[in-house]
Amino acid sequence: MKKPKLKLYNTLTKKKEIFKPLKNKLVRFYACGPTVYDYPHIGNLRAYVAEDILRRTLELNGYKVKHVMNITDVGHLTSQADEGEDKVELAARKHKKTAWEIAEFFTKVFLDNLKTLNIKMPHIMPKATEHIKEMIELIKKLEKKGYTYRIDDGIYFDTSKLKDYGKLTGMNFKQLNRYLKAGARVPFNPQKRNITDFALWKFSPKDVKRQMEWPSPWGIGFPGWHIECSAMSMKYLGNTFDLHAGGEDHIPIHHTNEIAQSEAATGKPFVKYWFHVAFLLVNGKKMSKSLGNYYTLQDLLDKGYGWREIRYALMSAHYRQQLNFTLRGLESAKRSVERIIEFMRRLRDYSNGKKHKTFHKILTRYKYKFWKEINNDLNMPKALAVLFEFINKVNKLMDQKKISKGDAKKAIKLMLWFDQILGLKLDEILKEERKLPKEAEELIKLREEARKKKDYKTADKIREELRKKFGIILEDTKDGVRWKWEK
């Protein structure tokens, strides 16, 4: 079978491109991680699920992925314009805990959420507070090259000094400045030279004692959010790496500024492919606590939904399309997952039928179709449609007894291959304890009665029926009859 080519949409070039890593088969992949001050909501989790599908697709295509995801435990302010409070310090006051305790607690919550949704763990998860030294070094480099200036509350990056500033947005410098001005919720600091300029290092306020602060060549303070990602991604992946992911809301500010700092400091291109996941809406509206349409993972689990259903609902739309999340949609995800699981059980328990002469062709065809869709910029809706087409096809063949047990085993193998992308832990279905079907139970009883009456002919007939119909083998031992599944 010819392998389909992997194509990904690149925000930087605004095109779907054939994916080719910078170095052979290694993909150096950075994903912006959480700011650990609250429970992740399902909008956050959608992005992590989409990035998980991306990583699984890369691995399915034979790439070795080095996956780095940061933990932002300092420096993310309540306003995108470098104003307002540090989210972690604010949460600490609210919960009457230390900032360190808040960060530790919500980091654990985040990791638990990833585990629950069977999202593959990044290989390295650097914390911002443990990389202050690297951030200061990077700012020093930028200072030396003349990209920085000082105002009352910190050291800033002068975005007008970079020729292609804003290239990720498709807007030029002026347009981007206008765009940010129009969208601003708080007034910009008038000392800033340009609206697009951003803080590299913020000084601790004079009137409030911060819990998280560090000395620096410029004064006591803390790093800006953007410099964290530049410093940590380049530390673990090099000055230029393959793939950088995040939510689409990161494009105009966070990722634009990561590019600016990194490329200004190194003089080299920062990232080859940019991957952005679209927003999640709930009932057609932006999620917010005041609208009552705000869900965490635990909220949905508490409503009785299983992790597979939640994962399925989050991954079933195309990652570049807004996902309108509704409880009705979750119900339909639940039915889809049930159909997949029922199919796995049926394949596992299937025992009769004759060998299909061209079954291998059917398997290869569906494998290719699925792979082609997933490799086409991770087209999950279409890949899932292929999956269900396959399920329907094989179900029909089983209804008509047109495949053998061996064929069914091959179908299981393909399902587990699909599951490398789906991440639904379908192998667990195979390991579930199987219950004896009611009809089989009754047949065993009938056989016992026949044996008591020494009617061995009937007993043997029933034994054979159990084997043929259910794949159950009976053994008569001195402690009575025992049964097991035919291998």
> Is residue 138 part of the contact set for Zn ion (CB under 5 A)?
no
Number of residues engaging Zn ion in binding (CB under 5 A): 2
For the CB of residue 139, give the shortest distance to Zn ion in the complex, in Å: 16
Q: Which is nearer to Zn ion, 213 or 228 (CB)?
A: 228
C-beta closer to Zn ion: residue 63 or 274: 274
CB of 229 to Zn ion, least distance (A): 3
Tokens of 452: 């008591």
Of residues 32 and 415, the one with the C-beta less far from Zn ion:
32
Out of 6, 12, 27, 32, name the contact with Zn ion by CB under 5 A. Answer: 32
**Which residue lies nearer to Zn ion by CB, 71 or 363?**
71
Q: Within positions 224 to 283, which residues make up the interface with Zn ion, using CB under 5 A?
A: 229
Region of 14-22, 30-38, 209-217, 398-406 interacting with Zn ion (CB under 5 A): 30-38
Structural contact between residues 225 and 77, judged by C-beta atoms closer than 8 angstroms: yes
**Closer residue to Zn ion in complex, CB, 136/229:** 229
Binding site for Zn ion (CB under 5 A): 32, 229
